[in-house]
Structure formats: C-alpha cells, structure tokens
Amino acid sequence: MAAPLSSSPEDRAGALLTIDLAAVVENWRLLKRTAGPTCDVGAVVKADAYGLGLEPIVAALKGAGCKTFYVANLNEGLALRAVLGNADARLVVMHGPNPGTEREFAAHRLIPVLSTPRQIKTWRGFAAANDVLMESIIKVDTGMNRLGLTALEFAGLMNDPDGFAGLTPLALMSHLACADTPAHPLNAVQRERFASALSTFRLKFADARGSLANSAGIFLGQGFTYDFARPGAALYGVNPLAEGASRVIPVVRLVAKILQVRRVDAATPVGYGATFRAPDGAKLATVSMGYADGLLRSWSPSGHAFIDGLKVPVAGRVSMDLTIFDVSNVPDSALGPGAVIELIGSSQSVDDVARAAGTIGYEVLTALGGRYHRRYLPAKG
Ligand SMILES: *Cc1c(COP(=O)(O)O)cnc(C)c1O
C-alpha cells in the first residue's frame, strides 16, 4: 500500500484559485434589486459556471433563493439536474434538443429553448406522441442573427394554426447583441422588435412570459428586463459593460507560486523565441502557471502581475506551464520561499487581465484550467 501523502493539495498545486461564493450571492442580489420585484433573476451557469465550478456556484445561488438556472446544452443540463436533484427550480437548456434527445429533456425535466422551426416541429411531435405537457421556451431573433426564429419564420408559425399547436410555452426569449454598450442604437431596435413579437405571441399564449436581458441587459433598465432575466458574467465579477466602472464586486483571486528567482549578470534573452532581452542586473522570477492554466499567450507583450502590491511585467512569452516575470523592482525579502504572485485580485481585476490580453473577462474566466487548487469562500447563511 502506498504511504499516505503528507502534503496538502494546496502544497502540491502550482497556483491557487479562490472563489468567493458570498460575492457571487451579493452580485446576484444586486442584479435582482436592479431588475425590480417582478423579474425572476436566474443564473446562467453554462461552461461550468463560467469556469468557476457548477456545483458550488449553484449551491450558493440556490441557497440565496435563485430559482431558475440556464445552461447551454443537454450534457450541461444533465449535470445541472444532478446537482439540483429534485429542488424546486427551473432548469433551462438554451440550445434546445439535438435531434433524438427530446426524451432526455422530458425525463430530466429540462426546459428546452426552441430556436428553429425544425426544433419546434420535432418537440411538438414528441410531446404529442408521448403525452408530454412540458414547458418550453420559444426563441426569436431580434437583430443578433445567432439563434432564434427569424421574423418571417415567427410570423409563419403564428399564422399557421398548427404552428405552435400542442406546445406549452413558458416564455418568449431573445438575446441582445450590444447590451454592453448602452448607447448602441441596436438596443432600442431589439427591444421594440421583442415587444412586438411578445404581444403577438400573447394573442395565442396569454400567459407567456418574456426574457430578453443578460447581465448587461439588466443594467439597460427595467424596460429591458421583462419577466425572466438571464445574467451570467456579472454574477462572477466580470464587468458586463464595455466601459466604465464595474457595478459588481470581484469574485476571483488567482495567485501563482514562484518557483525560481535569478539575477542575470549580463544582458540576456529570456524565454521561447528570445523575444525579451533582460538588461544586465535584471531579476527574473519563474512562476508555475502558463497557457494550459488559461493565462492567454496573447497576454505576453503587455501582461503584468503584482507581488506585495508591486507591479511586475511578463518577461518574454507565456509558455504552457511557466511564465517569467521581471521582478527587478521587488526586494529579495518578498521573493523568498513560499512567495506568490497575484494575477487576479485586489491589485488587478479579471477585466484588467482581459484588456491586457486583448479579450474580455468572459474568456479569461472560461479559459481557467483544471490544475489550480481551488478554494471556495462560503456564502453567508
Ligand atoms: C451566455 C448567455 C447569457 C448570459 O450572458 P452574460 O452576458 O454572461 O450575462 C444569457 N443569454 C444567453 C442566450 C446566453 O447565451
């Protein structure tokens, strides 16, 4: 029998990811207050809750009173059902059923979002053949041209007495393309198209609810929130707006361990491709985190991190498991054994890291790898 490990998971990991569940709950409450009392503010937990861990995130939000959860596909829906068990909650699968998977939606009580005439027809056929009276959500496209019925398809189905026959639609859904930019004219256009489609839809289904807003959509004001809001990013501390101070609080802290520090005694190239030249006397720290951990390679030229509040730039290219930083300005006393470097936290937000890598906070979070030691700070009861 192997000897028991004497080290802790934290000792063994190269980097530590701390996820503040109380902050997630606080962000959800802020979104709820902003959306107003008549709006059901759910939680989008697709992509493993934006990389932060489906199970703990769902448990924290459910504990706070969140009743509606959204994922992208059926596999995520099954995982969500396993986490929620028989809890009193709505589970929505936004991509709807792939052909032949309708049965699993019904068996696991996953509400499908139906976006194409074919999905609607197939779901109707399935519901009729199996005597399933399960709710669905119909999605219309109002200007993003991604998923949803076109205006023509929607009108066609509305005018066809059999178009939506046999369905029990919970809601009509659409998605905003430019909500992160409040002044963008497409926001008002999409809202108008959505309002018009919803009032038409209600001629057939008087109780159908409306769902339009993601995180940024909630901040566009209560004219955009309707009955079901679907925030994701803002829950996880990503600023959903393209510009301006964030209204949500940070959720994630990421620190990595320093494996080695060296002083170079003559100017010398650093890292793959020798793209960076360290000047004579520079001090370099090699850190156990790289692009396999979600530190995007495009971050190399302008990325930086912090040691004890001191800013240190990336030296050369981010590699798979390691990144080198120029720590010439950091006293040796801050670089001893056990020293860590903060990549995301109080000194720089997930949005700051994203900007330096030429991307958005969403991509930084969902790129986070599986090698961290993850620590969850509990939601307050
Ligand atoms: C991902 C997604 C959301 C959540 O968007 P955020 O910007 O993260 O709040 C909402 N609705 C749909 C259809 C989505 O795909």
Tell me the average confidence (pLDDT) per consecutive run of 10 residues in the chain, 381 residues long.
80 96 98 97 98 98 98 98 96 97 96 98 93 91 97 98 94 98 97 98 97 98 96 97 93 97 94 94 97 95 96 97 98 93 96 96 95 95 65
Q: Does ligand 1 have an atom closer than 6 angstroms to the CB of 233? A: yes
The pLDDT, as a whole number, for residue 250 is 97
Q: Does ligand 1 have an atom closer than 6 angstroms to the CB of 77? A: no
- Number of separate helices (H) and strands (E) present in the chain: 12, 19
Task: Tell whether 378 is covered by a domain.
Answer: no
Indicate if 283 belongs to the active site: no
For atom 10 of ligand 1, the residue with the nearest CA is 214
Pocket test for ligand 1, best of 44, 73, 146, 350 (most atoms within 8 A of CB): 44
Task: Tell whether 9 is covered by a domain.
Answer: no
Task: Tell whether 181 is covered by a domain.
Answer: yes
Give the domain CATH number at 52: 3.20.20.10
Domain that holds residue 316: 252-348
Give the atom of ligand 1 at the shortest distance from the alpha carbon of 179.
7
157 & 257 share domain: no
Q: Burial level of 88, CB count in 10 A (0-12/13-18/19+)?
A: exposed
208 & 306 share domain: no
Task: Tell whether 125 is covered by a domain.
Answer: yes
Question: What is the CA angle 116-119-125, rounded to 5?
Answer: 140
The pLDDT, as a whole number, for residue 131 is 83
Give the atom of ligand 1 at the shortest distance from the alpha carbon of 113.
13
270 & 308 share domain: yes
Q: Does ligand 1 have an atom closer than 6 angstroms to the CB of 94? A: yes
Give the atom of ligand 1 at the shortest distance from the alpha carbon of 238.
8
222 & 259 share domain: no
The pLDDT, as a whole number, for residue 39 is 97
290 & 208 share domain: no
213 C-alpha to ligand 1 centroid (Å): 8
Q: Burial level of 168, CB count in 10 A (0-12/13-18/19+)?
A: middle
Total domains in the chain come to 2
Task: Tell whether 381 is covered by a domain.
Answer: no
224 & 94 share domain: yes
The pLDDT, as a whole number, for residue 346 is 92
The pLDDT, as a whole number, for residue 58 is 98
31 C-alpha to ligand 1 centroid (Å): 14
Give the domain CATH number at 311: 2.40.37.10
Q: Does ligand 1 have an atom closer than 6 angstroms to the CB of 163? A: no
- Residue among 32, 46, 139, 283 flagged as catalytic: 46
Task: Tell whether 268 is covered by a domain.
Answer: yes
Q: Are 241 and 248 within 8 A, CB to CB? A: no
Residue type, 359: T
Q: Which of 182, 207, 236 is the last residue of a domain?
A: 236
The single-letter DSSP state of residue 314 is B
Task: Tell whether 1 is covered by a domain.
Answer: no
The pLDDT, as a whole number, for residue 134 is 86
* DSSP-based three-state secondary structure for 112: strand
70 & 218 share domain: yes
192 & 277 share domain: no
Question: What is the CA angle 287-53-84, rounded to 5?
Answer: 170
For atom 4 of ligand 1, the residue with the nearest CA is 232
Indicate if 257 belongs to the active site: no
79 & 128 share domain: yes
- Residue among 67, 204, 257, 272 flagged as catalytic: 272
The pLDDT, as a whole number, for residue 334 is 95
Of 70, 49, 51, whose CA–CA distance to 60 is shortest?
A: 49
Q: Is the dihedral of CA 74, 80, 81, 83 positive or negative?
A: positive
Q: Are 97 and 123 within 8 A, CB to CB? A: yes
Q: Does ligand 1 have an atom closer than 6 angstroms to the CB of 237? A: no
297 & 216 share domain: no
CB atoms within 10 A of CB 65: 11
Residue 292 corresponds to which tokens in the numbers above? 């396999």
Task: Tell whether 106 is covered by a domain.
Answer: yes
Q: Which of 236, 262, 285 is the last residue of a domain?
A: 236
51 & 141 share domain: yes
44 C-alpha to ligand 1 centroid (Å): 7
For atom 3 of ligand 1, the residue with the nearest CA is 214
The pLDDT, as a whole number, for residue 381 is 65
299 & 218 share domain: no
